C-alpha cells in the first residue's frame, strides 16, 4: 500500500462545515507542471498524479489547481467571479450550484466509462435533472464510529449512543462538519432519510448532539489532526471518514471502524461538474474526468485512500477481502442500510448550520 499520500486526505480541510470559512484565502498550485488550458477547483490532495495518469500520458503534465476548504466557500467564490473549468462538489450542493447557473450540462457520450459507473450514483437526483447530466460521480465513502480497540469496549461500539456515554467523557472527537454531524444526529434517533426530518425530529437530533457535545474533547477539521489525537490516546472514539482507520492501521495503530452498529452509518458521494464560465479547454476537461474514472484510479482510491470509487466495473475486479476491509463488500446492501447524504431543502440546511454553531458554543 502506498503511504505517501496519507497526510493529504480526501477532505484535508473541512468538507461541509458551517460557512465560517467563506473569507478564507485560496491559491493556485501546480500538481506536476501546470497545464494552463485546464483549471480544477478542488479539495486539497486530489492533485495526486495517481488519479489522472492517463491525462498526464496524453498531455505531458497535470492541470492547474485551485483549492477550496468547503463547498459553501467554493460556491461563493464562483458566484463572485472566480474562473475554473471543473469543480468537485458533493451531492448536497449540486441543486444549489445548478440553480445558481454555475454549471453547464455534461455530454455523457464523451464519458468513456459512463456504462461502468455505479447506476445508483450515476442516475441519482441532482446528478441528472431536467433530462440532462449535470455531474459525474467520482468518489464516495462513509462516516462511522472509529475507535481505539485497546481503549474502547467493543460492546459500546454497537450503538451511536457511545458518543453520549459518560464513560468516554473528554475522549470523543466529532467532525466540525454540518453534514456529518446531522447525519449522526438523524441516525441516532432512528432516521435513514434526513430529507423527511420534521421539526420535532430536528429537535430530537439536536438534543442528541448536545448530549454528545458534553463528551467532546474537540471537533476535528482534518484527518491528520484526528489521527494524531487517536495515536497518542487523547481521543479514543470518533465519528470519522474511511481514511482514518485505513491510514492508522497502515501505521500499526490499534484503530478500527465499527460498521455494524444498530443505527447505521452515513454515506457521501462527490463528483465532477463542468463550470459554465470556464475559459479552458473542454476537450481536456473530458480527458481529465475520463482519466479519473479509469480502473487504475479506482484501484488507487480504494487501496491507498480507503474510499469508494464510482467505477463499478473496476470495483468488481478488486479483491473481495480488500473491499470488505473498507466496508464495501456489498455495495447494494451498503446503500440500503446507510443514511445517504442527499440534498436537503435550503431551509433545513440553514437550520442545521445555525443550530450546530449553538451546540459547539455550548448552548
Q: How far is CA 180 from CA 15, 97, 164, 338, in A?
A: 9, 20, 16, 12
Better-predicted residue by pLDDT, 325 or 10: 325
Q: For position 333, what pLDDT does the model report?
A: 67
Better-predicted residue by pLDDT, 344 or 202: 202
Cβ contacts of residue 90 below 8 Å, gap of 6+?
15, 16, 71, 179, 268, 269, 270, 271, 341
**Over 60: is that where the pLDDT of 23 sits?**
no
Q: For position 9, what pLDDT does the model report?
A: 42
Better-predicted residue by pLDDT, 170 or 323: 170
Q: For position 72, what pLDDT does the model report?
A: 81
The DSSP element (H or E) to which 316 belongs, if any, is: helix 312-317
Name the band, by pLDDT with cuts 50, 70 and 90, for residue 16: very low
Average pLDDT in the 64-75 region? 87
Name the band, by pLDDT with cuts 50, 70 and 90, for residue 189: very high
Better-predicted residue by pLDDT, 338 or 295: 295
Q: For position 172, what pLDDT does the model report?
A: 98
- Residue 305 CA from chain centroid, whole number: 12
pTM for the full predicted model: 0.79
pLDDT tens-digit map of 73-132: 899 999 999 999 999 999 888 988 999 999 999 999 999 999 999 998 898 878 998 899
Give the C-alpha separation, 76 to 19, whole Å.
10
Give the C-alpha separation, 37 to 44, whole Å.
20
β-bridge partners, 309: 139
Q: Own/partner pairs for 281-287, CB < 8 Å, 24+ apart? A: 281/37, 281/38, 281/85, 282/85, 284/35, 284/37, 284/38, 284/55, 284/59, 284/63, 284/85, 285/38, 285/85, 285/86, 286/107, 286/110, 286/111, 287/54, 287/55, 287/58, 287/59
Q: For position 277, what pLDDT does the model report?
A: 94
Name the band, by pLDDT with cuts 50, 70 and 90, for residue 29: very low
Give the C-alpha separation, 226 to 217, whole Å.
11
Q: For position 280, what pLDDT does the model report?
A: 96
Average pLDDT in the 222-246 region? 92
Average pLDDT in the 287-293 region? 98
Cβ contacts of residue 245 below 8 Å, gap of 6+?
146, 255, 256, 257, 306
Better-predicted residue by pLDDT, 20 or 329: 329
Better-predicted residue by pLDDT, 327 or 94: 94
Which domains are assigned to the chain?
19-140+269-329 (3.40.190.10), 142-266+342-360 (3.40.190.10)
Amino acid at each position: 500500500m502506498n503511504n505517501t499520500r496519507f497526510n493529504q486526505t480526501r477532505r484535508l480541510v473541512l468538507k461541509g462545515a458551517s460557512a465560517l470559512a467563506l473569507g478564507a484565502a485560496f491559491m493556485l498550485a501546480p500538481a506536476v507542471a501546470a497545464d494552463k488550458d485546464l483549471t480544477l477547483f478542488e479539495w486539497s490532495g486530489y492533485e495526486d498524479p495517481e488519479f489522472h495518469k492517463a491525462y498526464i500520458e496524453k498531455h505531458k503534465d497535470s492541470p492547474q489547481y485551485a483549492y477550496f476548504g468547503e463547498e459553501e466557500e467554493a460556491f461563493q467564490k464562483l458566484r463572485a467571479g472566480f474562473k475554473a473549468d471543473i469543480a468537485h462538489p458533493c451531492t448536497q450542493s449540486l441543486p444549489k450550484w445548478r440553480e445558481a447557473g454555475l454549471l453547464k450540462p455534461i455530454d455523457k457520450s464523451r464519458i468513456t466509462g459512463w456504462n461502468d459507473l455505479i447506476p445508483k450514483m450515476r442516475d441519482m437526483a441532482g446528478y441528472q435533472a431536467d433530462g440532462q447530466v449535470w455531474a459525474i460521480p467520482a468518489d464516495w465513502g462513509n462516516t462511522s464510529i472509529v475507535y481505539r480497540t485497546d481503549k474502547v469496549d467493543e460492546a459500546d461500539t454497537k450503538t451511536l449512543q457511545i458518543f453520549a456515554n459518560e464513560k468516554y467523557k473528554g475522549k470523543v472527537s466529532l467532525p466540525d462538519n454540518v453534514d456529518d454531524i446531522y447525519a449522526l444526529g438523524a441516525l441516532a434517533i432512528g432516521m435513514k432519510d434526513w430529507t423527511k426530518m420534521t421539526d420535532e425530529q430536528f429537535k430530537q437530533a439536536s438534543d442528541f448532539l448536545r448530549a454528545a457535545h458534553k463528551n467532546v474533547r474537540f471537533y476535528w477539521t482534518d484527518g491528520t489532526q484526528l489521527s494524531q489525537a487517536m495515536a497518542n490516546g487523547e481521543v479514543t472514539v470518533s465519528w470519522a471518514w474511511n481514511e482514518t482507520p485505513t491510514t492508522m492501521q497502515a501505521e500499526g495503530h490499534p484503530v478500527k471502524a465499527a460498521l455494524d452498529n444498530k443505527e447505521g452509518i452515513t454515506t457521501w458521494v462527490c463528483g465532477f461538474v463542468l463550470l459554465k464560465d470556464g475559459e479552458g479547454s473542454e476537450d481536456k476537461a473530458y480527458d481529465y474526468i475520463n482519466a479519473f474514472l479509469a480502473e487504475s484510479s479506482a484501484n488507487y482510491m480504494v487501496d491507498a485512500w480507503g474510499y469508494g470509487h464510482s467505477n463499478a466495473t473496476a470495483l468488481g475486479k478488486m479483491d473481495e477481502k480488500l473491499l470488505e476491509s473498507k466496508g464495501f463488500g456489498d455495495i447494494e446492501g451498503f446503500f440500503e442500510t446507510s443514511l445517504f447524504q442527499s440534498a436537503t431543502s435550503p431551509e433545513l440546511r440553514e437550520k442545521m448550520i445555525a443550530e450546530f454553531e449553538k451546540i459547539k458554543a455550548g448552548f
